[in-house]
Amino acid sequence: MSHAHDRVLILDFGSQFTQLIARRIREESVYCEIHSPDKSLKWIKAWNPAAVILSGGPSSVYDEDVPTADIGLLEAGIPILGICYGFHLIAHLEGAEVEQGKREYGRAELQVQVIDGIFKGFHQGKTTTVWCSHGDHVDEPPPGYESLASTDTLRVAAFRAVDRPIYAVQFHPEVAHTDRGDEILSNFLFKVAECRPTWTAGAFIEDTVAQIRQQVGEATVICGLSGGVDSSVAAVLVHRAIGDRLTCIFVDHGLLRKQEREQVELMFRTHHKMKLVVEEASVPFLEDLSGVIDPEEKRRAIGNRFIQVFESTARREGTGATFLVQGTLYPDVIESVSVGGPSVTIKSHHNVGGLPEDVPFELIEPLRELFKDEVRQVGRELGLSEEFVGRHPFPGPGLAIRILGEVTEERLDILREADAIYLEEIRLAGLYDEIWQAFAILLPVQSVGVMGDA
């Protein structure tokens, strides 16, 4: 990522909402990264953040081996926002008494007393709903700080330093349940930290294209194209950087949705003029799946065969490629940076394209800084059709794991047609973009639905 952009550093103390904080900041066109809280003040200064956010977390400041931050950070002149545990940590480090109490979880009505800073634009005398999730509380702000807001159960729900750009809130502005949370974060970014909103899809593409060209030089690159959002956007982005030195390989394993292969060929070969190799391999995949019922065995069989087909196709095409495009996203990168491991347990998707670690390629991961919604934005900026950037997630093993029981060509045909009809009806109703995921499943038994029965 180009250092021309202002950057916000999020220190993750284990909150389930940490990634949501990052997404809210990115939505304001400000770049941010999530890192573990054990970073030294020297490291933080070298990273040169425009602002620092201390996330929430499950700990109490009185727990053993409690995660903390370098106290020098509070004297560094960097704008800081503490959220929930971050609120308690700042109070504790600055000498306030943090009192332990029963956990409070749910909505609360916030009364703002100081209409300034992060509460710019709020109104005295009016309450706003916020979301709380905490056990400890603070009844008096630390020396040199002033209280900004309260609730019925919290004498101090927010405070700030009198002489430094340090703010803290005892609720979660990043969640949808906090009515004006986006406004609070926006005020912190632009009125307190004076960040510049330069992190856009267009700026990302410009930076990434330059980085890819520098990384690749005059070498050639291959990409395993699945037709999904991530691989499609990654492929078009790399193609913009190096043109025909990219070869995309699309393996048709016979487990695709209706007309998916034709859609991929039309989009990438015809519209984007990309070098695309389509490998027909449905016969060996179906042979491997013959008699297999267990879903995990299906995944293993499909994954192993995919590796063989992909590698043999790459060798046959003689691309001489030294680089491989991989659609790594930001959640994959940050899954182990927080306290005691991942703050949000990220389930790895069944990625048929997962190649062995010892493949003789250097990786290109053009999307590793992006969340999924940002990948879609970049795809639109690159000119990919909404049919591709807005499509629902589809597992690498395809329809095989949406068939309960043995996978046969006949059962695939039935499910393929049923899935297409179902999705067509959802689109006709104008609901496709409102639903995160919808699909048909083929059961090995007959079933019946009853309407109106008590």
Which DSSP category does 440 fall into?
-
pLDDT score for 67? 86
When pLDDT is cut at 50, 70 and 90, the band that residue 121 belongs to is very high
Residue 157 is assigned to a structural domain of this protein: yes
Boundary of a domain, candidates 192, 223, 258: 192
For the cut 60, the answer to whether the pLDDT of residue 336 exceeds it is no
Domain residues for the domain of 34 are 7-192
pTM of the complete model? 0.85
For the cut 70, the answer to whether the pLDDT of residue 341 exceeds it is no
Q: Mark whether 216 and 246 lie in a shared domain.
A: yes
Residue 66 exposure: Cα atoms within 13 Å on the Cβ side: 18
Tokens, residue 38: 């054990």
Residue bearing the bigger pLDDT, 351 or 36: 36
pLDDT score for 359? 66
* Distance from C-alpha of 444 to C-alpha of 402, rounded to nearest angstrom: 11
User: Which of 161-165, 169-173, 244-248, 318-322 shows the lowest per-residue confidence on average (mean pLDDT)?
Assistant: 318-322
Q: Mark whether 232 and 177 lie in a shared domain.
A: no
Q: Mark whether 114 and 217 lie in a shared domain.
A: no
Q: Mark whether 288 and 270 lie in a shared domain.
A: yes
Q: Mark whether 351 and 205 lie in a shared domain.
A: yes
Q: Look at residues 33, 38, 37 and name the one whose alpha carbon lies nearest to residue 49.
A: 33
User: Over the stretch 194-232, which tens digit does the pLDDT of each residue have?
Assistant: 999 999 999 999 999 999 999 999 999 999 999 899 999
When pLDDT is cut at 50, 70 and 90, the band that residue 60 belongs to is confident
When pLDDT is cut at 50, 70 and 90, the band that residue 350 belongs to is very low
Q: Look at residues 61, 56, 58, 44 and name the one whose alpha carbon lies nearest to residue 95.
A: 61
User: Which of 72-81, 101-110, 162-171, 266-275 shows the lowest per-residue confidence on average (mean pLDDT)?
Assistant: 101-110
pLDDT score for 85? 93
User: What single-letter amino acid sits at 270?
Assistant: T
Q: Mark whether 262 and 334 lie in a shared domain.
A: yes
pLDDT score for 405? 94
Per DSSP, what are the bridge partners of residue 98?
138
Provide the mean pLDDT of the chain: 90
Q: Mark whether 212 and 173 lie in a shared domain.
A: no
Q: What angle do CA 138, 104, 86 make, to 5 degrees?
A: 50
* 174 included as an active-site residue: yes
* 392 included as an active-site residue: no
pLDDT score for 446? 77
How is 158-188 classified by DSSP, letter by letter? EEEESSSSEEEESS-TTSTTSTTHHHHHHII
Structural contact between residues 21 and 10, judged by C-beta atoms closer than 8 angstroms: yes
* 349 included as an active-site residue: no
Q: pLDDT over 70 for what percent of the chain? A: 91
Q: Which of 32, 84, 223, 248 is catalytic?
A: 84
User: Over the stretch 358-397, which tens digit does the pLDDT of each residue have?
Assistant: 667 899 999 999 999 999 999 999 999 998 899 998 988 9
Q: Which of 172, 239, 272, 350 is catalytic?
A: 172
Q: Which of 174, 260, 369, 374 is catalytic?
A: 174
Residue 291 is assigned to a structural domain of this protein: yes
Residue 421 is assigned to a structural domain of this protein: no
Q: Mark whether 167 and 313 lie in a shared domain.
A: no
Q: Mark whether 346 and 233 lie in a shared domain.
A: yes
For the cut 80, the answer to whether the pLDDT of residue 280 exceeds it is yes
pLDDT score for 352? 38
Q: Give the count of domains, the chain.
A: 2
When pLDDT is cut at 50, 70 and 90, the band that residue 124 belongs to is confident
Q: Mark whether 213 and 180 lie in a shared domain.
A: no
